[in-house]
Amino acid sequence: MNIAPAFAVVGHPNKGKSSVVATLSQNDAIAIALEPGTTRARQSYPLSVDGKTLYTLVDTPGFQRPRRVLEWLEAHSVSASDHSETVRAFVLQHQGDNRFTDECELLTPLIEGAGIIYVVDGSAPYSAEHEAEMTILRWTGQPSLALINSIGPDDYSETWQAALGQFFQVVRNFDAVRAPFEQHLSLLRAFGQLEPNWEQALDQATHHLSAQRQRRKTLAAGIVAKALEDMMSFQEKRTLTLDQVAGTSDSTLADQLRQRWYQQQRQREQTLRIDIEHLYQHQRVRRQEAELEWHSDHDLFSEGSRKHWAVSKRYLATAGFGAGAVSGAGLDAITLGTSLGTGALVGGLIGAAGSYFYGDKLSLPVLNIGLLRDGLKTATFGPVQDSQFGYVVLGRAVDHWWHISHRNHAGRELLDLEPADHHWLERLDKMSRQIIQRTLDKCRKLQPLDENQQHKFHLAIEECMTGYEDWRLNRT
């Protein structure tokens, strides 16, 4: 029978139950606090993919009087065969009894058929209170596994392993904040082995979650690609009357448009960050990141940003248009694009010499004031003058994506996006390099992309993400 199972996450107060629920349900809205008793009533959190509920996590209050409950159960039980019914009788009899409110809340989903995920803190010592809890849970007769979620610095996990192994068929170490995605799937597979009626549903759940993860990566690549297209081609425009032209110097106008251009770029990058976070169902991420600034160590056009995120001259020399294309791009710029790409061809023939001086500093966009027409003039600032801007934005975007895609929903720590000195793009395959470079150049020259070019660009960005993921994982 293919049904979507429910799992009640139970245990002692303040031992990481809500963190486990947040991670396994992909819900960062679940309250997680250091104070005992944060969860006062059971709350269900279904995990759905494409509108289909795969399973439901039930967050429950912690045990308050487990030994008193166990005494009642033992006093009202005749034999082991009636244990589950005795637990049901306890819940029915004590509904509304303030002494056992928490126990009734956590036992109710179990008598209704939920599986048990028993969470303990491996940094706290084992006690008789825990043994009473585990005995009560065993009385329910429900499929169960135990998770050791260490919160503090001490380690009693070996003692916990020995104790839990006497009550639960499956015992796992599980860091709710840092456990990798594969451990999530492993827990689902383990439950499928414990309960045959859930095996098919949980096999489907692991398949859907794996497919969702790959689909999110593809969608994220598309989001990054679109942001790059927007940011590389963006122009800030202003239409001026004759009076405005006469009363505004070129330098003042350039400064005004530059500031607006910069503000738009910063906002577009922030939109990109939020879109990626929401794609992975992270709604409450607090980020610490150097903003796109004009005059700082992290200035987009500074040597620092180029060093952290841009690419090397060697990379550019093999990126499809070669080092000589830098000279050609300069020729195209001088002729305002009227060379129709001839400059790039000539630059390619010039060879690698021209690339030696390229990449040391990012070129600023320039102000362009059009001719007077019908008493009006149009001033534009942008687009960017070279593709290194795109590599800075791309590097920052892929790094952010990696952190978000590997961040569990129990995480509440500040996301610190500090750049590291590495050039991971150097490992990218030649075809992807060519596609990215050519696309960035087309965007900055305001040349439209057709659907095929956009598709190839998306795939190349996805290759960047895969390469960066491999590089990060190999570091650890």
Buried b (16+ CB within 10 A) or exposed e, 127-143: eeebbbbbbbbbbbebb
**Considering the domain boundaries, does residue 120 fall inside one?**
yes
**pLDDT at 349 exceeding the cut of 60:** no
Residue whose C-alpha is closest to residue 399's, from 305, 262, 267? 305
Tell me 100's DSSP state: G
Residue 137, SS3 per DSSP = helix
- pLDDT bracket for residue 270 (50, 70, 90): very high
Cα separation, 453 vs 196, in Å, equals: 49
- Residue-wise pLDDT for 381-391, tens only, equals 889 887 888 98
Whether the pLDDT of residue 412 is over 60: the answer is yes
- Residue at 54 is within a domain: yes
State the pTM of this model.
0.84
In a domain, 61, yes or no: yes
Average pLDDT, the chain: 83
Same domain for 179 and 270, yes or no, is no
| Domain membership of residue 51 as a residue range | 6-194
Task: Tell me: do 224 and 148 sit in the same domain.
Answer: no
CATH code of the domain in which 63 resides: 3.40.50.300
**144 domain-assigned:** yes
**Which residue, 165, 194, 223, sits at the end of a domain?**
194
Residues 187 and 219 in one domain: no
**Shared-domain flag, residues 275 and 372:** yes
Residue predicted with more confidence, 398 or 320 = 398
pLDDT tops 80 at residue 271: yes
**Is residue 331, in this structure, part of any structural domain at all?**
no
Instruction: Give yes or no for residue 327 having a pLDDT over 70.
Output: no
Whether 181 and 221 map to the same domain: the answer is: no
Q: Which residues does 82 contact at the CB level (< 8 Å), separation at least 6?
A: none
Residues 408 and 453 in one domain: yes
In a domain, 247, yes or no: yes
Instruction: Classify residue 75: in a domain, yes or no.
Output: yes
- Do 235 and 179 share a structural domain? no
End position of a domain, from candidates 145, 163, 194: 194
Identify whether residues 73 and 30 lie together within a single domain: yes
Residue 209 lies in a domain: no
Most confident range (mean pLDDT) of 117-121, 311-315, 354-358 is: 117-121
Whether the pLDDT of residue 36 is over 60: the answer is no
Question: How many distinct structural domains can be found in the chain?
Answer: 2
Tell whether the model's pLDDT for residue 352 goes beyond 50: no
Same domain, 127 and 270: no
Query: 106 and 226 in one domain?
Result: no
Same domain, 222 and 190: no
| Mean pLDDT value across residues 306-320 | 60
pLDDT for the residue numbered 400: 94
**Same domain, yes or no, for 14 and 119?**
yes
Say how far apart CA 426 and CA 318 lie, in whole Å.
Answer: 10
Name the percent of the chain lying above pLDDT 90: 56
- Three-class DSSP category at 78: coil
194, 228, 250 - which closes a domain: 194
